[in-house]
Amino acid sequence: MVQRFLEGVRVLDLSQYVPGPYAALILADLGADVVKIEPPGGEPMRRLAGPCDSDGISPLYKVVNGGKTVIELDLKSMAGRAQFEALIRAADAMIESYRPGVLDRLGFERECLQSLNPRLVHTALSGWGQTGPYRLKAGHDINYMSLGGGLIASGSAEAPTIAWPPVADYASGIQAAASTLAALVSRARTGKGAFIDLSLAETVLAWQSGSLTTSFRRESAPERAGNLLNGGAACYNIYRTEDAHFVSIGNIEEKFWANFCAVVGREDWIPRQWESFPQKKLIAEVQNLFASRPLSHWEALFAEVDHCFEPIREFTELPDHPQIAARGLLQRTQAPEPRVEVRYPAWIDGSPPPPRRGVSFGTADEVLAAWTRAA
């Protein structure tokens, strides 16, 4: 089962907000014993991101920290430092999201961590990376997307569009989890830990090789709503229905575009699939078609047609959607406040992912006692 893959692996999570906690959540879902270390009073995410639950904690904090044990440590105190050192000695991996230099000022520079535990896989997740002129610059997802190329070709022809959920945050979390796992595999061969310097902005930048290559060849650089995949094509776009719902079609393959055109009685559109981008005239014609009928009409018409069509669903529709329900990834909690979590997104050996336990709170002494017993 998925939760056993990392059984026995101990991870310290010193990160905040979304990127690092999401990386650690992935490791927890895969079976790691994740202990989240927060400053006295807890990290800011406990009280951010919308109304808090009756216990004063944000539901978003709970869902991104599920499966972890949270402890509070004052790393500026002698007692807190001593407990942290003991945890470092016993850990396999650590994910942190301090600004570069913060751990050094706390007395836990790279050399110190290596001396405490040479086998430690240390993943430092920061906005811009540990080096370079931006290393200490403040930022959030929207800023990392701006420099990493994630916004320049996204949105309408008039302006870029902010993506939701925050792309750099979650993408870097996945990248951090993957890098940590790779380093653990290497450690199994060499016995040596690793220091991984991972940047949110560079996670997005890593996706831009195609766009960069096109631009530097002095060909037509990607522009907003100007190419096949970002709103410039009629066959791959979003349209509004008569009753103000939105639908997507993704008929890149010619057979799917032909099937769509045939069923709506517009075979004359078939040879126009690859007109020059942006296909403003053809897009407007397809939009007029969708605007002529309500969503229910299009769902019924396309029910048995082999082409790429899907309504854009509201969040409230997702839990009961037959495909999502059949996969069993959603986990609902009703009390004391309703919450919906998405379990690890993979079936393993024919079985869906198991339920994820909620976030729990403890102390460093309790964690160290449990780790000592397990050893």
Q: Is 122 a catalytic residue?
A: no
Kind of pairing between the strands at 309-311 and 194-199: unpaired
Question: Tell me, what amino acid is at 50?
Answer: G
- Half-sphere exposure at residue 263, Cβ-oriented, CA atoms within 13 angstroms: 18
- Is the backbone of residue 328 left (phi > 0), alpha (psi -120 to 50) or beta? left
Per the DSSP assignment, residues forming a β-bridge with 12 are: 35, 94
Q: In what order do the strands lie in the sheet with 194-199?
A: 194-199, 121-126, 93-96, 10-14, 33-38, 69-72, 360-361
Q: Is 104 a catalytic residue?
A: no
Catalytic one of 140, 197, 268, 349? 140
Contact 98/130 with Cβ under 8 angstroms? no
Which residues, 6 or more positions from 107, have their beta carbon under 8 angstroms from its beta carbon? 81
Catalytic one of 92, 169, 245, 307? 169
Residues marked active site are found at 140, 169
